[in-house]
Amino acid sequence: MITARAVVYVPKNARFKPLLQNQKINKFMSTSPRQFLEGSRAIALTIKNINPDVISAYPITPQTHIVEDLAKFQADGQANYEYLRAESEFAAASIVLGASAAGSRVYSATSSQGLLLMTEVIFSIAGMRLPIVMTCANRTISSPINIWNDHQDIMALANPGWIMLFAGDNQEAVYQHVLAYKLAEKLKLPVMVNVDGFVLTHSYEPVSIPSASSIKKYLGTYQPDLNNHLDVNHPMTMGPFVSPNDYLEIRQELHEDLINSLSVINQEYKNCHRALGVKNSPSEDGLIEYYGSKSAKNILITLGSVAGTIKDVIDQNPKAALLRIKCFNPFPYQEVTKILKTKTNIAVVEKASGLGALGPLMAKIVPTVNDRQIIKNYVVGLGGRDVKKQMIEKIINDIMKTKKTDWQAKFISK
C-alpha cells in the first residue's frame, strides 16, 4: 500500500528550535544512536518498541502520521500488537477503554475535534482508573475551521482526571511516552502526552529512540491490577452506578491520588532516563524546567515548543528567565511557587485563551504569586500563528514596564 503525506506549513523559526536548544544546554544526551526523524515517526517507533497489546485510533490531522506508521508496522509484520480501526474518535477511545478493562496494555492518539468527540470516554477512563496512554497532537478547535497548532483542544479538557504532560521537543516526547506507561501502570491513572501539532509532529530532528529491550527492562511485562480488570473467573463491575452517599469520596480519592502522583512523576522521570541511558544534569526535573539567570527578576511561563523561541530571546536578555511547565495536571504548585517567590514581574505566555476569563495556564499560576508581584497574561500563536522573537521581546518589554497586575489577557499577534 502506498500512502501520501501532505505538505504542511510549519513556522520557519519553530522547525529546528527544540534541537538547537537541546544542543545548547546539553540535555537528553543518550547512549542510543540518533536518527533524523519526523516527530510523528519518532513517537510511532517508540510506541512500537513499547509493544502495547492493542492500539485503536481514528486519523485526524495532525495526529495522522503517528497512527499511520503504527498501522503500517503491524501490516508489514514488524509489530505484533492488534490494531483496531474505528469509525470515530469516540469509538477508538471506547475500544481502548474496553481492551484496558480486559487487562491489555493499550495506546491511542488524537487531536482537536477528535479529542472533543472522545470527551465522555476520557472522563470514564479516569473514573475507572484505567492505565491508558494517549498522545494528543495539539491543534486548535473550530469554529472557524483551522488545522494548525495551539493548545485550545487540550485546555477544553484540562482536568478530566488524567496526568497531562507537555513535550518541549521531539526527544522529550519520546521519553515522555515511555515515562507515561510507567506512571499509568504504577499509579492506575491515565496519562496524556501533549505534542505541538505540526511544529513537532511534522518537523524533523535528530532523535534517539530507546531500544525495545531497554524499554522492557524499565517497564517490565504488563500485569493488570487483579482488582481492577475484567476476568470471567473473578466477576466484578467497573464504573458502576453510585448514589450521592459514595460519589464524592470516589472523586476525592481520584483527586488525592493525582496530587500525590507529583513526587512519583519526579522520581520516575529520573528512573526512566537512567534506565534508557539518558544523561541529565542533577537539577533535571520531571515537572518543570527553569532556563536563564537565577537572579533574573522577570520571568516568562509557558508550555510546549514555544519555549525554544523564548530561550533564544533570553540568551540575549539576561534580565529575563523562563519557567516551562512539563506537567500541567496535576499542577506542581509547590515547585512553581518556590521559583516565583524571587521574581518581580511574571508573564504567562500561552497558546490558549480563556474566552471571557483568564487563560487556563494563567489561572493555574495566579495562586502561586503574592500581592507584591506583577502578573500578566499573554495569548500567542492561536490557530498556528507563528510566534516570532520580536513578539517575545515585546512581551518582556511590556511586563517590565507594567506597574500593576492586569487581569485582562493581552493578545500578541505580531
Sole residue written with cell 532556563: 291
Residues 64, 211, single domain; the answer is: yes
Residues 169, 297, single domain; the answer is: no
**4 grid coordinates:** 501520501
What pLDDT is recorded for position 130?
A: 98
What pLDDT is recorded for position 282?
A: 66
Q: What percent of the chain has pLDDT over 70?
A: 92
The verdict on residue 331 lying in a domain is yes
Residue ending a domain, choose from 219, 247, 263: 219
What pLDDT is recorded for position 279?
A: 85
* pLDDT higher than 60, residue 25: no
What pLDDT is recorded for position 27?
A: 57
- For residue range 94-124, list pLDDT tens digits in order: 999 999 999 999 999 999 999 999 999 999 9
Residues 50, 145, single domain; the answer is: yes
Q: Can you list the pairs that 248-257 forms with residues at least 24 positions away whose Cβ atoms lie under 8 Å? A: 250/127, 254/126, 254/127, 254/129, 254/161, 257/187, 257/188, 257/189
Residues 76, 158, single domain; the answer is: yes
Task: State how many domains the chain has.
Answer: 2
Which structural domain range is residue 374 located in?
288-411
Residue 344, classed as helix, strand or coil, is coil
Check residues 2 and 374 and name the one with the higher pLDDT: 374
Q: Model's pTM, two decimal places?
A: 0.93
Residues 162, 298, single domain; the answer is: no
What pLDDT is recorded for position 225?
A: 86
Q: Which range among 94-98, 146-150, 222-226, 253-257 shows the weakest confidence by mean pLDDT? A: 222-226
Q: Is 325 exposed, middle or buried (0-12, 13-18, 19+ CB in 10 A)?
A: buried
CATH classification at residue 124: 3.40.50.970
* pLDDT higher than 70, residue 226: yes
Residues 160, 304, single domain; the answer is: no
